[in-house]
Every structure is written in C-alpha cells, then in structure tokens.
C-alpha cells in the first residue's frame, strides 16, 4: 500500500512528514495528449536524415531536450556528434512538422486534477523538457487561471534535461518549499528518474504506450487521471 511508499520516502529523505503543497507536473503526456504527435514528427524527421528512431523510443526518450535526442541518434547512426548546425536544422524541421499536425487535446481527466489541486491552494508548476513554445503558450488559454508563466520550467531554461535532476530541482528551489512538500506528476521513465534524483516523491500516470513496468521507478503508478484524482481526494 502507499503508506509503505511514503514511509520509505521519509526514511530516504530524513523527512518527518509528507504533505504536498506543490505539484510539479510534466507537460507532454500529462497535460496534453501530444506524445503521438511528437512520435510522428520525430520519426519522420529522423527518417529524412537517415537516423534511427521509433515511436516507442520517442516515449522512452520523453523529457530529453531535442538537442540531446538528435545528438544521441547521430552517434548511433554515424558514430559522431551532430554539429550545432545539424541540431538547429533538424529540430526546426521537427518543430515545424509537429506544429503542422494541429493542436493536441488535453489528457482526459487532467482538468479535474488541476482544478482540485488549485482549489487546495497548492502551487502548480510545469516542468517539461519541451521547447515547443506553441504548447507552452497554450497552457493559460487551455487551463485558465491555473498556470503562471514564472512557474514553468522548459527545455530552454536548463542545461541538462531529464533524466538529470536539474529541471525538477530548479522548480523545487523556486517554489521555496521543502522537498517533502512537493510531488512530481510524470508519465515517462526519464521524468521519473529526474524527479527521484531530485529527491522528490513521484507519481506516474500511464497515458501512453508504455507498460507499467516502464514506470515502475515511480513511488506510485496510476492508470488514469481519474484514478489519480480519487487518490488525491482520499489521501
């Protein structure tokens, strides 16, 4: 049961209690159902440049910066690093293709989760490896009164993307809260690793094509936003 996970977290972090006052939330696959679009765009652009990539790989790599994804693919395909010009060009092509696929709808049930967390007076942060400004800019219009621009950490704000702890550490530091007062909400292995490496409690919601085993490093895994909401109301 979750009491055991909480006890283990408190033991590991030498904390006395776990009472979240801030939710640090990933964007792609948690707020927006944008991962299918990312997978299509990455696959098509990588194919154009004869670089290896799959949809499943896209989900597994979610959270990395675009530059990291491109450089790793280049090493695998050609045993060399991508040049700055190649990174800029490929990412621009991927971004344009992604944008051409249209707007991604919100994840089913996430609005109710956000409204509940907001009603509790908790801080809500977005922590994403994405640099897709169209998605970031749409947060306030899709989820009015929920997000503040100064509570968004994106791929443009960090040197090291997920699974490095930097993105979640940056959000935590800016929150002004203790680590045991924050909880990460993720949907991807690298994001889970990032949150855990930052010393934070991590919830995972399986919204894509990954298995529960892929998300097993999270402190608790949910199969839907509705299940997460029920848990938050009971906890």
Would you kindly state where each structural domain of the chain is located, as residue ranges?
2-33+107-234, 35-100
Q: Scanning the structure block, which residue is given the tokens 């990032």?
A: 194
pLDDT at 13 > cutoff 60: no
Instruction: Confirm or reject CATH 3.40.50.1000 for domain 2-33+107-234, answering yes or no.
Output: yes
Fold: same for 2-33+107-234 and 35-100 = no
Topology classification of domain 35-100 = DNA polymerase; domain 1 (1.10.150)
pLDDT of residue 205: 98
Percent of the chain with pLDDT over 90: 74
The string of pLDDT tens digits covering residues 39-86 is 999 999 999 999 999 999 999 988 888 898 999 999 999 999 999 999
The string of pLDDT tens digits covering residues 20-45 is 899 999 999 999 999 999 999 999 99
Average pLDDT over residues 197-203: 97
At residue 155 the predicted structure's pLDDT band, cuts being 50, 70 and 90, is confident
Mean pLDDT estimate for the chain = 90
Query: Is 48 within 8 Å of 42 (Cβ atoms)?
Result: no
pLDDT at 5 > cutoff 70: no
CA quadruple 166, 168, 174, 176: dihedral, nearest 10: -120
* Closest to 114 measured CA to CA, from 136, 142, 133: 142
pLDDT of residue 179: 95
pLDDT of residue 1: 43
Q: Work out the number of other CB atoms within 10 angstroms of the CB of residue 140.
A: 14
From start to end of 93-135, where are the E strands? Answer: 123-127
pLDDT of residue 18: 55
């Amino acid at each position: 049961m979750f009491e055991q996970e909480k006890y283990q977290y408190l033991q590991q972090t030498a904390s006395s209690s776990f009472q979240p006052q801030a939710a640090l939330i990933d964007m792609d696959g948690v707020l927006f159902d944008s991962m299918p679009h990312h997978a299509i765009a990455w696959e098509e652009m990588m194919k154009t440049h004869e670089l290896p990539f799959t949809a499943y790989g896209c989900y597994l790599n979610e959270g990395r910066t675009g530059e990291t994804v491109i450089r790793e693919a280049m090493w695998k395909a050609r045993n060399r690093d991508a040049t700055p010009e190649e990174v800029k060009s490929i990412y621009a092509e991927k971004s344009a293709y992604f944008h051409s696929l249209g707007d991604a709808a919100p994840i089913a049930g996430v609005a109710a989760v956000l409204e509940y967390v907001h009603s509790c007076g908790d801080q809500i942060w977005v922590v994403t490896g994405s640099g897709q400004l169209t998605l970031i800019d749409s947060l306030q219009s899709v989820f009015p009164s929920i997000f503040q621009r100064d509570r968004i950490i994106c791929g443009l704000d960090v040197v090291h993307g997920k699974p490095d702890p930097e993105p979640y550490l940056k959000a935590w530091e800016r929150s002004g809260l203790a680590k045991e007062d924050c909880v990460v909400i993720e949907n991807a292995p690298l994001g889970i690793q990032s949150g855990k490496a930052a010393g934070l409690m991590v919830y995972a919601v399986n919204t894509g094509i990954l298995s529960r085993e892929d998300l097993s490093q999270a402190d608790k895994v949910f199969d839907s936003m509705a299940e997460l909401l029920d848990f938050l109301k009971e906890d």
